[in-house]
Homo-oligomer: A and B are copies of this chain.
């Protein structure tokens, strides 16, 4: 198999140790000096404020914090990331959203409706229309009204999206009783997500497996990720935005209207161990993928819920999740390292950035 040839034994040892850590009670990192030359070439990732190897991030930014791991961004880290963009090439990672787009059935459907239109404004002559005498050039306008979910299209899940426990708490212990509301959440809404500018690493799992897209329900493991990274010759560093390509994004097309095909491939994703490896061993500051859920669906049995990875990332670690990112052009051009730039809508109460257009810069 392709991945066996490209997978260095020494790296396997590191990974095994790391995975052992993840599954044990110990939080002590075990990446060790006993590794051979191949491993030596992979120096321990440098540390970063807020991040601890073997532990990741967590509720470490003070009791009022709503930002989580993105607090680790600094002028220095942004500056370094931006220097990756020396060519001035820009990749639009957004998938176009429309009323016909695939979405999770538990979110509300959407409509984009022409609200005002020039011919009708002229015909109606309603109070909002310009009086004809003031409008010899016949200037009118279009606007749209949207009914839309804050969890559709290319997204970044906010830290209040998922809750856990009897008190329905989210990141940093904010509870429904205290911070829920009729108009969305009142802590960790999308307005608290700062513009994200960081080194991005795309892990092309589909390319590494040599498939158009991973089959339905494929579990992506830490070993898969390491193997794909090795093939790419790129290492993750603490503070990175790590985007996983399953290939499902290729079926989005113009507006994500082929629900059946998308839904099938959309179910591939990471398991909890792979996610923990990314966060606790590699220092991912944010993770994402080209599917709507990032994690494999359904999760392996015994994981505590249908979305254990969401709970781990958003609630426990304070790590945002990017979803439905279009990684096709990056894959085609074999762009594995870039400057990732994303800024969500700034709408109070919303639980995620939606219908976004993140950018990868080279």
Q: How far is the CA of A301 from the CA of B160 in the complex (A)?
A: 41
When the two chains form their complex, are residues A195 and B79 in contact, meaning their CB atoms are under 8 A apart?
Answer: no
When the two chains form their complex, are residues A146 and B143 in contact, meaning their CB atoms are under 8 A apart?
Answer: no
Among A36-44, A47-55, A101-109, the stretch that binds chain B is A101-109
Q: How far is the CA of A194 from the CA of B358 in the complex (A)?
A: 11
Return chain B residues, CB-CB under 8 Å to A82. Answer: 82, 85-86, 88, 361
- How many residues belonging to A are interface residues under a CB distance threshold of 8 Å? 115
From known contacts A97-B348, A98-B183, A346-B357, infer whether A136 and B88 are also in contact, taking CB-CB under 8 Å.
no
Q: Is A80 an interface residue (CB 8 A)?
A: yes
Return chain B residues, CB-CB under 8 Å to A310. Answer: 139, 141
Chain B CB within 10 A, most for which of A163, A178, A345: A345
Q: How far is the CA of A113 from the CA of B94 in the complex (A)?
A: 25
Across chains A and B, which 9 residue pairs bring their CB atoms closest together, nearest first? A79-B88, A78-B88, A139-B305, A137-B304, A118-B168, A75-B88, A98-B348, A343-B357, A94-B346
Which A residues are closer than 8 A to B by beta carbons? Answer: 74-82, 85-90, 92, 94-100, 105-109, 111-124, 126-128, 130, 134-151, 153-154, 160-166, 168, 170, 176-178, 180-186, 191, 194-195, 197, 255, 304-308, 310-311, 341, 343-352, 354-359, 361
